[in-house]
Amino acid sequence: MGAVQLSGLRKFYGALEVIKGVDLAVNAGELVVFVGPSGCGKSTLLRMIAGLEDVDYGRIDIAGKDVTEAPPAQRGVAMVFQNYALYPHMTAYDNLAYGLRRAGLARDAVDQRVKETAALLQITELLPRKPKAMSGGQRQRVAIGRAIVRKPEVFLFDEPLSNLDAALRVEMRSQIARLHQELAATMIFVTHDQVEAMTLADRIVVLNAGRVEQIGTPREVYHRPANLFVAGFIGSPAMNLLPASLGAGGVTLASGPVLGGPTGTGAAVTLGVRPDRLSLAPPEAAHLSGAAKLIEHLGDETILHLHLDDGAALTLKLAGDVAVTLGARVHARIDMTGACLFGADGRALRPLPAP
Amino acid sequence: MPITAPIAPQAAPLLPRRNRKAQRAEARAGLFFALPWIIGMTIFVALPLIVTFYIAQTKFQIVGAPKWVGLQNYEALLRDPAFWKSAQNTLIFAAISVPLKLIIALGLALLLNRATALLGFYRTVFYLPFLMPAVAGSVVFMLLLTPNAGPVNIALEAMGLNPPDWLLDPKAALWTLILLSLWPLGVETLVFLGGLQNIPKDVSEAADLDSPKRWHKLVWITLPLITPMVLFNLVIGIIYSFQVFTQAIVIGGTTGTPAESTLMYMVVLYRAAFRYFNMGLAAAMATVLFVVVLILTLLIFKTARSWVHYEGGET
């Protein structure tokens, strides 16, 4: 399994720069997830690695070889597409065998590899069927099989689960995680679904507008976002970002309350607090107050959206089924454990201790 | 519970009856919508076909009533050397021009499929010849191919070649006609182009990832996925090539000059009908052509099951 090295990658569509200088090293055997909002360039970046998009500037190395100008089939990559992209006129068996046959593998060797792969993915009974006669989940398993059978240096997944229904998505997600462990394969996975990103990734690459915002393990990205964008993007419901300043008594909210923590001389900061670090409190102990404008009862937890007195929004994630009526006045207290601080430039200040 | 039980069996048959009624109404509406087409088909296709079969067994010279002669016209056909010569010419013409046309049209479509910026322009350019009357086109080609003063031969001679007399050499004239038939291939090209553009982009990209060789993708992915268009072009091409007429009569007249080398089946049929006013014989020729083309088409459709893939563009 090979490592992937991206150096100074840039890509233009006409005058529009869609990839603005990406440097990234994916280690051999690592599963890296590209995540970001629509149009952030994550799919384009993946397609550049696959060789399906030209590189305007920069260099791509796969398994120690410069493949920047190499055709897709000679990069040692295999790709799983969002719409499966199976050859519709071929059976699942032929879909898996096609690449091996074209590479000149002997008939017996092809047969053995196809059957091994089919057994690994539990798709043996699908082999004689054409894609038309399969469900979405079955097609995607065959598409993954077509990638695995070629024993590539790197697997590329372009939002492979987004066309599947919720239950199937969870199942396929765990299957991909299992494959990653069994094959010890290098995988790059593109998704806009942060749950997929958090659960699958060894490391997450957060992209925004063609730039890398942060690279880190799921826990790093979640607990220590490098900037306001990552803080707002990772985590659902999103982190609360509150205007504050660093005073003599510590972090001071713009609305008045002093929360403690790092002190300063009044520099403006943004305080980031995860919704689960907020709790209901009696008025005298509360830091923030507002009216409940939306209540989501999820059974084991309650998501409470507040309209604060100063007009800002605040989201609380409370354990259990909390009885709050719409429009009721709610008082919340901030637990500073795991809170984040961002400077005026939007970048994280020295992170507070993680929980 | 005991109250609702007896109601159910009564309510049950109501729904199917309403369904049957709705179905009948829908069928009636469908028939009305298709009626103009059905009437047109009956008047302009089915009736003439039946009348042709009938006239083929009569002696009929346009004026006067047809006189029943049974199979005499068919017997006369079999004894007519022009029938055999024109059938032979037409078969050679079809056998060479149809595959050639498909290959060239496919090549053009593959090229067009790669051009993105000027696609609309090229599409129009390739379709234009189809809009030009075949007679005018043929005359232009006759001028181009004139032995001494024609630009084609002047160019070939300038290159030190010894060009044939395209129109009057019996060995060359049929080939000239075949070349001429290749000229308006806009429709075939557009049909192929439509097929190529219908291949999902990611399927094409998956093929790029599976093999670096272009011809691998062409043979194993692209061609199988456009086989419905190949079938369409093949069947239409065969039907048209067996009926080649305009170019043949412009170049060879009604005698297939030179030396009957461009004498096509439809020309002989036309000659029988409108020069000799032997409508019975012409109708017999039309019937034979109809049966031959029908059998060929059915054979192609029968084999199509094994080589035409209708799954393209579905995933």
For a pLDDT cut of 90, what percent of chain A falls above it? 72
Same domain, B125 and B86: yes
- Beta bridge pairs of residue A78: A155
User: Is residue B117 less than 8 Å (CB to CB) from chain A?
Assistant: no
Count H helices and E strands in chain A, helices first.
8, 20
Whole-number Å distance between alpha carbons of A96 and A105: 13
Same domain, B17 and B151: no
Q: Model confidence over A161-176: pLDDT tens digits?
A: 988 888 888 988 998 9
Q: Model confidence over A216-244: pLDDT tens digits?
A: 999 999 999 999 999 999 988 999 999 99
Residue B315 lies in a domain: no
Q: How confident is the model at residue B314 (pLDDT cuts 50, 70, 90)?
A: very low
- Amino acid B293 reads V
Buried b (16+ CB within 10 A) or exposed e, A286-297: bbbbbebeebee
Cα A100 to Cα A71, A116, A142: the distances in Å are 17, 14, 15
Q: Model confidence over A60-112: pLDDT tens digits?
A: 999 999 999 999 999 999 999 999 999 999 999 999 999 999 999 999 999 99
Residue B276 lies in a domain: yes
Cα angle: B76, vertex B80, B81; to 5 degrees: 165
Residue B314 lies in a domain: no
Same domain, B129 and B225: yes
Same domain, B181 and B51: no
For residue B73, is pLDDT > 50? yes
Higher pLDDT, A153 or A351: A153
Contacts of A79 in chain B (CB under 8 A): 205-206, 209
Same domain, B179 and B32: no
Cβ within 8 Å, pair A84-B207: no
Pseudo-torsion of CA A8, A14, A15, A21, nearest 10°? -10
Q: Given this model, what pLDDT does residue B6 score?
A: 44
Same domain, B43 and B138: no
Residue B61 lies in a domain: no
Mean pLDDT on A254-275: 87
Q: Model confidence over B224-258: pLDDT tens digits?
A: 999 999 999 999 999 989 988 888 888 777 776 77
User: Is residue A84 less than 8 Å (CB to CB) from chain B?
Assistant: yes
Q: What is the CATH number of the domain that holds B279?
A: 1.10.3720.10
Mean pLDDT on B288-312: 90
Residue B169 lies in a domain: yes
Q: How confident is the model at residue A54 (pLDDT cuts 50, 70, 90)?
A: very high
Q: Model confidence over B86-142: pLDDT tens digits?
A: 999 999 999 999 999 999 999 988 988 887 777 778 778 877 777 777 788 888 888
Same domain, B205 and B114: yes
For a pLDDT cut of 70, what percent of chain A falls above it? 98
Which one of B221, B314, B315 makes the best mutation probe of the A interface by having the most chain A beta carbons within 10 Å?
B315
Mean pLDDT on B292-299: 94
Contacts of B200 in chain A (CB under 8 A): 83, 85
Residues spanned by the domain of B31? 4-55
For residue B4, is pLDDT > 60? no
Contacts of B205 in chain A (CB under 8 A): 50, 52, 72, 79, 81, 85
Q: How near does any CA of chain A get to the CA of B229, in Å?
A: 15
A3: number of Cβ within 10 Å: 17
For a pLDDT cut of 70, what percent of chain B falls above it? 92
User: Is residue B313 less than 8 Å (CB to CB) from chain A?
Assistant: yes
Q: Which helix (H) or strand (E) holds A61?
A: strand A57-62
Residue B66 lies in a domain: no
Do the Cβ atoms of B281 and B298 come closer than 8 Å?
no
Contacts of B312 in chain A (CB under 8 A): 88-89
Cα angle: A297, vertex A300, A305; to 5 degrees: 40
For residue A16, is pLDDT > 80? yes
Whole-number Å distance between alpha carbons of A140 and A162: 11
Nearest to A73 among B210, B312, B314 (CB): B210
CA atoms within 13 Å, Cβ hemisphere of B77: 24
Least confident of A3-7, A144-148, A256-260: A256-260
Smallest CA–CA distance from B224 into chain A, residue:
A89
Instruction: Report the number of distinct structural domains present in chain B.
Output: 2
User: Is residue A139 less than 8 Å (CB to CB) from chain B?
Assistant: yes
For residue A201, is pLDDT > 90? yes
Which residue segments constitute the domains of chain A, with CATH numbers given? 4-232 (3.40.50.300), 237-342 (2.40.50.140)
- Mention every residue, 6+ apart, whose C-beta is less than 8 A from residue A101: A110
Cα angle: A297, vertex A302, A305; to 5 degrees: 100
Contacts of A85 in chain B (CB under 8 A): 200, 202-203, 205-206, 315
Cβ within 8 Å, pair B315-A84: yes
Nearest to A88 among B208, B213, B311 (CB): B311
Q: Model confidence over B163-174: pLDDT tens digits?
A: 777 777 777 788
pTM score: 0.81
Q: How confident is the model at residue A355 (pLDDT cuts 50, 70, 90)?
A: very low
Same domain, B47 and B15: yes
Whole-number Å distance between alpha carbons of A34 and A159: 10
User: Is residue B223 less than 8 Å (CB to CB) from chain A?
Assistant: no
- Mention every residue, 6+ apart, whose C-beta is less than 8 A from residue A171: A137
User: Is residue B214 less than 8 Å (CB to CB) from chain A?
Assistant: no
Q: How confident is the model at residue A197 (pLDDT cuts 50, 70, 90)?
A: very high
Please list the alpha-helical segments (H only) found in A241-326. none
- Beta bridge pairs of residue A206: A35, A214
Same domain, B47 and B148: no
Q: Which helix (H) or strand (E) holds A269?
A: strand A267-273
CB pairs under 8 A between A and B: 79
User: Is residue A52 less than 8 Å (CB to CB) from chain B?
Assistant: yes
Same domain, B301 and B183: yes
- Residue B88, both tokens: 């032979």
For residue A4, is pLDDT > 90? yes
Nearest to A87 among B203, B208, B213 (CB): B203
Surface of A (188-227) touching B: CB under 8 A: none
Same domain, B269 and B209: yes
Same domain, B30 and B132: no
Pseudo-torsion of CA A145, A149, A153, A154, nearest 10°? -10
Which one of B116, B199, B209 makes the best mutation probe of the A interface by having the most chain A beta carbons within 10 Å?
B209
For residue B217, is pLDDT > 60? yes
